[in-house]
Amino acid sequence: MGRPTWVEVDLTAVRSNLRALRAFVGEGVGVIAVVKADAYGHGAVPVARCLEETGADALAVAILEEALELRRAGIGLPILILNGFWPGEEAEIIRRDLTPAVYDEGMVVRLALEARRLKTPARYAVKIDTGMTRLGIPFEQAGEVVRRCLDREWVRCQGLYTHFSSADEPSRPATRRQIGRFSRVLAELPSGKAAGFRNHMANSAGILGFREAWCDAVRPGLMLYGINPLSRPAPLTLSSALSFKTSIVQIKTVKAGAEVGYGGDYVVSRSTRIGILPVGYADGVNRLLAPSGKVLLRGRRIPFAGRISMDLTAVDIGSAPEAGVGDEVCLIGRQGSEEITVGEFAAACSTIPYEALCRIGPRVPRIYR
């Protein structure tokens, strides 16, 4: 079995979330499922296979290496590379039938030259910057640039897209401003040349909060894994897909005044028992979790004891006198009637669920069910 620290991924939950999303957006809206960053720590290949079997229309990754991992695993869905490509990657993109984002005209030129050399047409999607001020052609210039790109031989535009900066804060005007700008860019394009495009704006928060942003397709990420990015209840049922677990490997009985961990920050106020867990910040247990964060042991909330180390963590198990070596400890997930959600785990680290999930390291094995 090896080190008793692991992540469980419930693929049934992933399937359920995709089906719930399909029912929510209805017929005619495509689903481009985001599996970048190892499917947000859930495991890109198993999750992508699950999504392909369940009816996703396409997948989205960040970089070429992530797309190649999926192609080598036999994933056949269209794959959008959200961060585009670097010089020298054109041939591999064309050979593997991938669709990179482009954010300047020169990228389309390079793709066209390589496509002509290989005698194989290339595809691309145009990213428009509508206010995120990140990758993308500025919306003021986009119509003119896209029209020139559409006249290139050997390359075909698959559609336009943009990314929201603040869709998780529906009260801010930024999202509707971005929707308006993107809609104006689309209106500038000749309707004949736009035939067959799949244009998209909405990430998970945009899907849940802005019906007018759905366009031809949506790009769910966090919600596929059962997490609501909004501060209010989601208008559909989502099931959490990930649990993060470990086990007690040693128990020490200590007296009042004992110091625990680096710096002796945790001073025991009474005789108690300290449980040692084989997991640390190298595995994604952020140091900021101590002292306010909790773990679950035998269905109870248990506090951390002292600073979290790179590979080990201590918890105060005095309130669970029946606990023993080998008992399962839950960092994220449910035990009995208690649950520590990804959102709670992230908040205790002063971060967001995206980062908390992505920081669960590769040395933590994933178990799929």
pLDDT at 291: 82
CATH for 268: 2.40.37.10
Helices 64-72 & 44-54, crossing angle to 10 degrees?
70
Active-site residue (options: 36, 127, 245, 294): 36
Q: What is the pLDDT of residues 314-349, one digit of tens each?
A: 999 999 999 999 999 999 999 999 999 999 999 999
Question: Is residue 276 within a helix (H) or strand (E), and if so which, with residue range?
Answer: strand 272-277
Q: Are residues 35 and 138 in the same domain?
A: yes
Q: Are residues 112 and 171 in the same domain?
A: yes
Q: Is 111 helix (H, G, I), strand (E, B) or coil?
A: helix
Confirm if 215 and 187 have CB atoms less than 8 A apart: no
Q: Are residues 35 and 179 in the same domain?
A: yes
| Residue that terminates a domain, selected from 193, 225, 257 | 225
Which tokens sit at 344? 């709670």
Q: Are residues 251 and 308 in the same domain?
A: yes
Mean confidence (pLDDT) of the chain = 96
Q: How far apart are CA 215 and CA 179, in angstroms?
A: 10
Residue 138, domain member (yes or no): yes
Q: Which structural domain, as residue segments, surrounds residue 356?
A: 242-368
pLDDT at 197: 83
Residue 324, domain member (yes or no): yes
Q: Are residues 256 and 211 in the same domain?
A: no
Domain count of the chain?
2
pLDDT at 3: 87
Residue 290, domain member (yes or no): yes
Beta strand 259-260 pairing with 266-267: antiparallel
Residue 234, domain member (yes or no): no
Q: Is 28 helix (H, G, I), strand (E, B) or coil?
A: coil
Number of residues that this document lists for the chain: 369
Active-site residue (options: 103, 124, 127, 262): 262
Residue 230, domain member (yes or no): no
- For the segment 17-44, the average pLDDT, to the nearest whole number, is 97
Beta bridge partners of 315: 275, 304
- What percent of the chain is predicted at pLDDT more than 70? 99
Which tokens sit at 4? 């008793």
Catalytic (active site) residue 36 = yes
Reported as a pLDDT band with limits 50, 70 and 90, residue 192 is low
Nearest to 260 by CA among 312, 326, 332: 312
Q: Compute the half-sphere exposure of residue 341: CA atoms within 13 Å on the CB side of its CA.
A: 14
Q: What is the pLDDT of residues 60-77, one digit of tens each?
A: 999 999 999 999 999 999
| Residue that terminates a domain, selected from 196, 225, 254 | 225
What are the DSSP calls for 91-102, one per residue?
Answer: HHHHHTT-EEEE
pLDDT at 209: 95
Q: Are residues 214 and 265 in the same domain?
A: no
Nearest to 167 by CA among 244, 230, 101: 230
- For the cut 70, the answer to whether the pLDDT of residue 41 exceeds it is yes
Q: Are residues 200 and 333 in the same domain?
A: no
Q: How far apart are CA 193 and CA 190, in angstroms?
A: 6
Q: Are residues 219 and 103 in the same domain?
A: yes
Q: Is 357 helix (H, G, I), strand (E, B) or coil?
A: helix
Residue 161, domain member (yes or no): yes
CATH for 173: 3.20.20.10
Which tokens sit at 269? 């106020």
Residue 197, domain member (yes or no): yes
Q: Are residues 79 and 177 in the same domain?
A: yes
Q: Is 22 helix (H, G, I), strand (E, B) or coil?
A: helix
Q: Are residues 198 and 75 in the same domain?
A: yes
Q: What is the pLDDT of residues 211-222, one digit of tens each?
A: 999 999 999 999
Q: What is the pLDDT of residues 268-306, one digit of tens each?
A: 999 999 999 999 999 999 999 998 899 999 999 999 999
| Residue that terminates a domain, selected from 195, 225, 255 | 225
